């Protein structure tokens, strides 16, 4: 399968490296507007065609699939042209600038039987796979909440706020792990340095009283990547910054018994063992690229397809709307 | 100064112990409805009058000041009677069930020149004192945000939700540290086990773009007590669960320069030293009781007076209102 | 059972409190040379006889058992007199100043059918009990090593070096957990502030290639209480300073297979789950005092008897001898 | 300056990458016995001469300096031939198999005015540079001890024991930081899996009561890289595994005053601030290679020269001798 890659900045080299070493795929063209990036690409891959013109790549008849690793405002045009030229599309998160763009891309792909995969890389980590497994096999029981903190010092984006920059990770993981779709979104936050929020908080209401909360912050002196998932039977703490035992499962919780009378709820705390399952030491992006090639070859629908990307974009849109209304609930 | 203490359950014995050893104060009466509590009190303090009748204590002519360490729904009646009988009042947090009660108590105390102190114990810890000092002397510069997480496994309250149980700590600290009063409050959350929220999130908007956020949770498998304060010059992380270096000051942040042209904001990350100041190893409650006696003797107004307690109750009331409206902003 | 307690300084009050609340035991006399300690004892226990004369206590006909919680140089005389007066003896660690004293006490106790218990409190913690259970049921497989670090800032002792002060904890735990007795001891260290070593290291050789190492230090800026136990099947890390999950069990290790040829040892690393068993939240000293009373009543021999205390003293003696010879091995 | 590199296994590629990007140096030959390694080298550096014959490289007239990144038993022969052919030598740690080899190499290099640099990479990390600075400027005061723990799961070496594998790091750092040379060495340890010690402990006695201790272990379930340096004025904890604040400086210690009488040493504990200086985020190996090229160009003697490598080998030799005598002291 011949690949063209658009964008060779921070993440692009990783995508190219994985496609280049993957059996069954080959990178034949790379486009980037920056001459320095093109030089780096050409030096690393002397036999690949390197160009400053993305259109050349997305329309090339020699190419089967396109990886779009360029800024979010370029996704829609590039993906649309690629799809209209019969190419499968792998695209960076967030999928598109808004849901209208995403819907159109999903429709075009479906009508032409082409695959879209949105780069929700975290779904392919050993940690998320293990949590997915535990939720699916009932180890956690009914879910209560999903609570994620993703903060650090860094103001990388001039075109989006901190929610669109950092929350796609949490939203795609949450979308993958929690059964059902959120019904409503509320978001609060504040701008301190420019016209985009640099601190923001997001609450999502799911059916069955499942609540999700996401704390993102570009102005934190310390880096935190911590997610708690509370279930009726067990609870999980995922700390992505520790070297070992990233996922810890706690056999702790609350046992409630039928109310006796009207004011009595018998509550017993359950404090049991903690268990840190061994996680597969895999490179997530490698797994993801391999899965993309397989989905194309076998004609199967990836779980992180355009619709998954679109769900995340809709949540971000709703969050932006709520943010503008200082937290008022927005229904999805 | 002769003290009467109402309530000898979990916290009461600490209050009595500190009053008993403090120079200038003496406990002469203790009231509790529970016979086992009275027995414990009498055994520990053979010379103190122990009774099942709180009214007897709050009206006693031998008593100068009352410490009310009983459930929140009893505060208003007991404090009112005590004040009307000419006694100074020390009262557990939260101050009252609602702001109307709090306002009335503040008025009565003022008209009779009596002191009310609300037990915001954390304000007397070495950690909060050090942070107060750093904010007041400008070490942090203009504040950006206050972000606190206070979660653990525990469903202790049948009469209030998790916000009224855990957030008074954060709200009183925040009220003490951040200049100015919050203008509006939003809160989200969910009930899983009974009719009170066990997971809740609160956002407070201050003047000058200062935002505060509080995450409280009775269903967390791990205990977290972590507060971040972001300032223009420095940032602070307060982890109350570590034995040493609870307060860490980071010389980190973002330097912004005047915009050149319309789209350019020059942002430089500043990554400097971290510094953990030595904290005074004091018992907070002891300092607080001592301060209460001093305020009475000198006629000075404590910073954690009835008005401070009332401010916290107003924020909690607004949060409850917002919670009922699923996050809609409530102005204070 | 009537108890007399000698010493009401730092640890004595804990011993008295536990004996006073334990069913089947009663404290009737307390001796301390320090008037302030006597005053505290009398205030806390108005009905107990408090005296400045230890001899009065250890010879009293009303007393069945003596708890000796005074400095180590007093242990021998007091314990001997108590035993000769027909009393059972509970004695602080280290048991005696040297092995000759310990041997004599053990002999006297045996000849008169009296019990000696040495206060190796850690053996009664949930952590050590769990590790003992796992070693005894074969969960760890054959043991490889025991490695303990016990360091902090503190120079409390003017009469002993850091080994005699801190290592008795590790030596008694090691003696309890590792099957068999050490054959030889080596110790190194240095004196910086006075005539006693304030930094010291101890290596103990057991049969079957089990090696133990103890690192003790009075001049560490941070407090560490960490023990690693390496076994063929599983390995344990015990961190006594964390609030939760003090004991962590790792399903990790090395699988070796039969050598093929002379230079080939096939080694496979095994990296599996980690598991933190729930520990019983008990007060160790309470369990120990209860066990002492039970052993006396039932006539059974405590595992932390005089002989166990003597084994620890012998190891300390050997370590001191090795320390004087700068690490030369001393056989036990 | 033209470089030849011997060995393209685990560490070799890093050496080549740094030499290739460094201004003033160029890699023109790479030798490795393994065909797969040669293939990787050739693919990554198409213009470099890749060969299976190290002798070809160390004798080549086009080459100015050799980097020897092959197993320790090859160091002596390769370095000697390179020096005799007039080349400067950069060599992996440990320098040689024994001190006789090291002495000969140092002599040859001196007589021909050639440079030897031993790859003590850690000396070029931000952490060690900062600690060196603090010791040299007197911030720590007189040193008391150096205590390092370097343990993990890993049995990588079939030809050396754990001391020769892991301790060179600590010994070279210690040699760099502590003024003066150690006078004597003691070492203990045990073999569990094959004929080499997999657990070992080393004590080094320096003048002025400075003591150093090194704990190395291939059978630890957890990875630890922790060094404590105790000084009269301040103490340092270096934890190399944390992402931030690797070096922490504690203003803690013991103040001693002149003895009054014979038994009184007045000891005051000093518990002050903790401070984590910002460390330069540099790649240590890059700094080291740059320094090597500079030393050759300017004719200066690197601090990690052959003599430094020889000092470390002598300590390892002494440790092996002591290990064979189960801890008996060996003088240097």
Pick B237's closest partner by Cβ from A193, A221, A267.
A221
Residue C39: predicted pLDDT: 93
Q: Are residues B213 and B100 in the same domain?
A: no
Beta bridge partners of B250: B235, B274
Antiparallel, parallel or unpaired: β C184-190 and C199-205: antiparallel
Pick A235's closest partner by Cβ from B221, B236, B271.
B221
Kindly identify which residue of chain B lies nearest to residue A148, measuring between CA atoms. B215
User: What phi and psi values does residue D80 have, to the nearest 5 degrees?
Assistant: -60, -50
- H helix runs in chain D, sequence order: 12-21, 35-44, 54-59, 75-84, 99-111, 126-136, 162-177, 284-298, 306-324
Pick A276's closest partner by Cβ from C273, C277, C278.
C273
Place of tokens 């090691």: C174
Q: For B179-207, how does the pLDDT look when each residue is reduced to its tens digit (9 = 90+)?
A: 999 999 999 999 998 789 999 999 999 99
Residue D254: predicted pLDDT: 78
Selected for mutation to probe chain D from C154, C161, C192 (highest D CB count within 10 Å) is C192
CA angle D150, D153, D158 (to 5 degrees): 95
- Contact partners for chain D, using 3 or more CB pairs closer than 8 A, are A, B, C
Q: How far is CA D188 from the centre of its chain?
A: 21
Q: How far is CA B303 from the centre of its chain?
A: 12
**Inside any domain, residue D36:** yes
Assess D193–A contact: CB distance below 8 Å, yes or no.
Answer: no
Residues in A closer than 8 angstroms to D45, CB to CB, are none
**Inside any domain, residue D80:** yes
**Inside any domain, residue A242:** yes
Q: Are residues B188 and B274 in the same domain?
A: yes
**pLDDT for B130 beyond 90:** yes
Q: What is the CATH number of the domain that holds D258?
A: 3.30.360.10
Q: What is the CATH number of the domain that holds C54?
A: 3.40.50.720
- Contact partners for chain A, using 3 or more CB pairs closer than 8 A, are B, C, D
Closest CA to B140 of B237, B213, B206, B225: B237
Q: Are residues D206 and D268 in the same domain?
A: yes
Query: Are D104 and D80 a contacting pair, CB within 8 Å?
Result: yes
Pick from A169-183, B155-169, C60-74, C194-208: least confident: B155-169
- In this structure, what token pair is assigned to residue C255? 């699988």
Q: Is C331 exposed, middle or buried (0-12, 13-18, 19+ CB in 10 A)?
A: exposed
Query: Are A184 and A118 a contacting pair, CB within 8 Å?
Result: no
Q: Are residues C318 and C187 in the same domain?
A: yes
Q: Cα distance from C175 to chain A (closest Cα, Å)?
A: 27
Residue environment code for B295-322, b if the CB has 16+ CB neighbours within 10 A, otherwise e:
bbeeeeebebbbbbbbbbbbbbbbbbeb
Selected for mutation to probe chain B from C243, C276, C278, C281 (highest B CB count within 10 Å) is C243
Residue A36: predicted pLDDT: 94
**Inside any domain, residue A305:** no
Q: Are residues A153 and A89 in the same domain?
A: no
Q: Are residues B160 and B183 in the same domain?
A: yes
Beta bridge partners of A153: A219
Q: For C280-299, how does the pLDDT look when each residue is reduced to its tens digit (9 = 90+)?
A: 888 999 999 999 999 999 99
Assess B159–A contact: CB distance below 8 Å, yes or no.
Answer: no
Closest CA to C5 of C297, C37, C100, C168: C37
Task: Please give the residue range of the domain that contains residue A109.
Answer: 2-114
Cα C111 from Cα C83, distance rounded (Å): 10
Average pLDDT over residues B304-315: 98
Kindly identify which residue of chain A lies nearest to residue B198, measuring between CA atoms. A144
What SS3 state is found at A147?
Answer: strand
pTM: predicted TM-score of the whole model, two decimal places: 0.91
Q: Centre a 10 Å sphere on the Cβ of residue B255 and count the other Cβ atoms it contains.
A: 11
**pLDDT for C158 beyond 70:** no
**Inside any domain, residue A207:** yes
Q: For D283-331, how does the pLDDT look when each residue is reduced to its tens digit (9 = 90+)?
A: 999 999 999 999 999 999 999 999 999 999 999 999 999 999 999 999 9
Contact C275 A272 (CB under 8 A): no
Q: Are residues A266 and A131 in the same domain?
A: yes
Q: Cα distance from A189 to chain B (closest Cα, Å)?
A: 7
Query: Are C1 and C28 a contacting pair, CB within 8 Å?
Result: no
Q: What is the largest CA-CA distance in chain C?
A: 78
**Inside any domain, residue B290:** no
Confidence of residue D46 (pLDDT cuts 50, 70, 90): confident
Average pLDDT over residues C18-31: 92
Q: Centre a 10 Å sphere on the Cβ of residue D46 and count the other Cβ atoms it contains.
A: 8
Q: For C108-130, how does the pLDDT look when each residue is reduced to its tens digit (9 = 90+)?
A: 999 999 999 999 999 999 999 99
What SS3 state is found at B155?
Answer: coil
**Inside any domain, residue C306:** no
Place of tokens 């469903």: B155
Q: Is the dihedral of CA A307, A313, A315, A321 positive or negative?
A: negative
Residues in B closer than 8 angstroms to A186, CB to CB, are 186, 188, 326-327
Percent of chain D with pLDDT over 90: 84
Selected for mutation to probe chain D from C210, C232, C318, C327 (highest D CB count within 10 Å) is C327
Q: Cα distance from A223 to chain D (closest Cα, Å)?
A: 9
Cα C318 from Cα C331, distance rounded (Å): 7
Average pLDDT over residues B140-155: 93
Closest CA to D263 of C197, C157, C165: C157
**pLDDT for C262 beyond 80:** no
Cα D109 from Cα D278, distance rounded (Å): 38
Assess B223–C contact: CB distance below 8 Å, yes or no.
Answer: yes
Query: What residues have CB less than 8 Å from B157, skipping those under 6 apart?
Result: B164, B165, B196
Place of tokens 């029981």: A141
Residues in B closer than 8 angstroms to C223, CB to CB, are 243-244
Q: Are residues D133 and D269 in the same domain?
A: yes
Residue A257: predicted pLDDT: 61
Residue environment code for B59-69, b if the CB has 16+ CB neighbours within 10 A, otherwise e:
bbeebbbbbbb
Q: Are residues C90 and C229 in the same domain?
A: no
Query: Are D297 and D115 a contacting pair, CB within 8 Å?
Result: no
Assess C86–A contact: CB distance below 8 Å, yes or no.
Answer: no
Counted across chains A and C, CB pairs separated by less than 8 A come out at: 26
The total number of structural domains in chain D stands at 2
> What radius of gyration do chain D's Cα atoms show?
21
Pick C243's closest partner by Cβ from B46, B241, B244.
B241
Cα A118 from Cα A102, distance rounded (Å): 11
Assess C282–A contact: CB distance below 8 Å, yes or no.
Answer: no
Assess A239–C contact: CB distance below 8 Å, yes or no.
Answer: no
Closest CA to B328 of B163, B188, B168: B188
Contact A327 B203 (CB under 8 A): yes
Q: Are residues A169 and A90 in the same domain?
A: no
Mean of per-residue pLDDT scores for chain D: 93
E strands in chain A = 2-6, 26-31, 49-51, 65-68, 88-92, 116-119, 143-153, 184-190, 199-205, 211-217, 219-231, 235-239, 247-260, 264-276, 330-331
Residue A218: predicted pLDDT: 94
- In this structure, what token pair is assigned to residue B182? 């919050």
Q: Are residues A128 and A109 in the same domain?
A: no
Residue B253: predicted pLDDT: 80
Selected for mutation to probe chain A from D243, D276, D278, D281 (highest A CB count within 10 Å) is D243
Residue A155: predicted pLDDT: 67
Winning range, highest mean pLDDT, from C114-128, C247-261, D272-286:
C114-128
- Calculate the alpha carbon distances from B10 to B13, B171, C154, D307 in Å: 7, 22, 33, 67
Average pLDDT over residues B124-133: 97
**pLDDT for B263 beyond 60:** no
Residue A193: predicted pLDDT: 84
Percent of chain B with pLDDT over 90: 84
Q: Of residues B114 and C263, which shows the higher confidence score?
A: B114
Assess A277–C contact: CB distance below 8 Å, yes or no.
Answer: yes
DSSP class of C305: B
Confidence of residue B21 (pLDDT cuts 50, 70, 90): confident
- In this structure, what token pair is assigned to residue A97? 């600038």
**Inside any domain, residue B212:** yes
> What radius of gyration do chain A's Cα atoms show?
21
Confidence of residue D156 (pLDDT cuts 50, 70, 90): low
Q: Are residues D91 and D129 in the same domain?
A: no
Assess C281–B contact: CB distance below 8 Å, yes or no.
Answer: no
Assess D139–C contact: CB distance below 8 Å, yes or no.
Answer: no
Counting as low any pLDDT under 70, the low residues of chain A are 155-158, 256-268
- H helix runs in chain B, sequence order: 12-21, 35-44, 54-59, 72-84, 99-111, 126-136, 162-177, 284-298, 306-324
Pick B274's closest partner by Cβ from D271, D272, D276.
D276
- Calculate the alpha carbon distances from D255 to A283, C78, C138 in Å: 52, 35, 48
Domain termination site, one of D84, D114, D144: D114
Assess B46–C contact: CB distance below 8 Å, yes or no.
Answer: yes
Kindly identify which residue of chain C lies nearest to residue D186, measuring between CA atoms. C327
**pLDDT for B216 beyond 60:** yes
Domain termination site, one of D81, D114, D147: D114
Residues in A closer than 8 angstroms to D239, CB to CB, are none
Counted across chains C and D, CB pairs separated by less than 8 A come out at: 162
Pick C245's closest partner by Cβ from A274, A277, A278.
A274
Confidence of residue C251 (pLDDT cuts 50, 70, 90): very high
Domain termination site, one of B59, B87, B114: B114
Residue B157: predicted pLDDT: 63
- Contact partners for chain C, using 3 or more CB pairs closer than 8 A, are A, B, D
Q: For C205-249, how does the pLDDT look when each residue is reduced to its tens digit (9 = 90+)?
A: 999 999 999 999 999 999 999 999 999 999 999 999 998 899 999
Query: Are A207 and A330 a contacting pair, CB within 8 Å?
Result: no
């Amino acid at each position: 399968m011949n690949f063209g890659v658009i964008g060779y900045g921070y993440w692009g080299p990783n995508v190219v490296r994985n496609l280049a070493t993957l059996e069954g795929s080959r990178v034949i063209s790379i486009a980037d507007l920056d001459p320095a990036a093109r030089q780096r690409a050409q030096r690393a891959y002397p036999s690949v065609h390197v160009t400053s013109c993305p259109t050349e790549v997305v329309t090339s008849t020699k190419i089967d699939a396109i990886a779009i690793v360029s800024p979010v405002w370029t996704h829609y045009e590039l993906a649309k042209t690629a799809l209209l030229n019969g190419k499968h599309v792998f695209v960076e998160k967030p999928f598109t600038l808004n849901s209208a763009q995403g819907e159109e891309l999903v429709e075009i792909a479906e009508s032409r039987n082409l695959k879209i995969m949105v780069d929700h890389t975290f779904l392919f980590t050993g940690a998320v796979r293990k949590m997915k497994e535990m939720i699916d096999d009932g180890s956690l029981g009914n879910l209560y909440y999903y609570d994620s903190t993703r903060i650090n010092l860094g103001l990388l984006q001039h075109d989006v706020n901190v929610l669109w920059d950092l929350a796609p990770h949490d939203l795609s993981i949450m979308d993958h792990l929690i059964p059902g779709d959120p019904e409503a979104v509320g978001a609060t936050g504040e701008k301190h340095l420019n016209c985009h929020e640099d601190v923001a908080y997001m609450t999502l209401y799911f059916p069955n009283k499942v609540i999700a909360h996401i704390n993102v912050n570009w102005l934190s002196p310390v880096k935190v990547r911590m997610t708690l998932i509370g279930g009726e039977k067990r609870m999980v703490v995922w700390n992505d910054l520790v070297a070992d035992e990233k996922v810890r499962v706690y056999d702790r919780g609350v046992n409630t018994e039928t109310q006796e009378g009207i004011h009595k709820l018998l509550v017993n705390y359950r404090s049991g063992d903690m268990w840190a399952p061994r996680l597969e030491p895999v490179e997530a992006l490698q797994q993801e690229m391999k899965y993309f090639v397989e989905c194309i070859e076998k004609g199967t629908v990836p779980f992180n397809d355009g619709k998954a990307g679109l769900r995340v974009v809709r949540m971000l849109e709703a969050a932006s709307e709520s943010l503008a209304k200082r937290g008022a609930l927005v229904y999805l």
